[in-house]
Chains A and B, each alone.
Chain A
Amino acid sequence: DIQMTQSPSTLYASIGDRVTITCRASQSVNSWLAWYQQKPGKAPKLLIYKASNLEGGVSSRFSGSGSGTEFTLTISSLQPEDLAIYYCQQFNTFPLTFGGGTKVEIK
């Protein structure tokens, strides 16, 4: 199975900060990677698909990059509504697998 490792597990940042979350795959997933945002009590919401494509309706503060085994999710200017847990997920190979999550909290 492809292991997805996210770092950091918890991120403390101030409103307005630029925030970067990293996701590493144990083997290449090409660009078949998605990022999701999950807020308490809610289902995950798709933010980025195919590594760098912004889902419709998602703020342009969010961007994704990378290919192969190294990926990043960037929030250009952190806003209060961005407090959430973020997950990466590969959909290159079965079984489809998720990272362990990065919790974004206010410093």
Chain B
Amino acid sequence: EVQLVESGGGLVQPGGSLRLSCAASGFTFDNYPMNWVRHPPGKGPEWVSLITATGAGTHYRHSVRGRFIISRDNSKNKLYLQMNSLRVEDTAVYYCAKGKEESTMRSAFDPWGQGTLVTVSS
């Protein structure tokens, strides 16, 4: 069974940093692209970032580019999101999500983890 378990969320002041982790199991981790997706309160989901299966390629939404860094450790089956210069508008539940298809960035998200809450507030 595919499992994705996020950790690292919490309360942080504006301008602060957090590092999210996602532990993956039940599939060949280094064959699949991985994503971070967030769900702000009262809004629809927002894709945040994607990393290719090898880690060689990354993509970001405009509002986090230059502040967030996605990375992966294929030897540990782990995905990360380093979030710097956090803003109030980054407040959301953050999910890691596996690309449904191997080795392609054009892939729906399946499955998603259970999410970790990030609250940016003074």
Q: How far is the CB of B62 from the nearest CB of chain A, in Å?
A: 7
Q: How far is the CB of A38 from the nearest CB of chain B, in Å?
A: 8
Per the CB 8 Å criterion, the residue count for chain B at the interface is 23
A44 to B114, CA, bound (A): 9
Residues of chain A lying within 8 A (CB to CB) of residue B50: 94, 96
Per the CB 8 Å criterion, the residue count for chain A at the interface is 23
23 sample A-B contacts, Cβ–Cβ < 8 Å, listed by A number: A32-B106, A36-B45, A43-B111, A43-B112, A43-B113, A44-B45, A44-B95, A44-B112, A45-B112, A46-B108, A46-B110, A49-B108, A87-B44, A87-B45, A89-B47, A89-B108, A89-B109, A91-B106, A91-B107, A96-B47, A98-B47, A99-B44, A100-B44
- Given contact pairs A46-B109, A91-B108, A92-B106, a sample of 7 additional A-B residue pairs in the complex whose CB atoms are under 8 Å apart: A45-B111, A49-B108, A50-B108, A55-B110, A91-B107, A95-B47, A98-B45
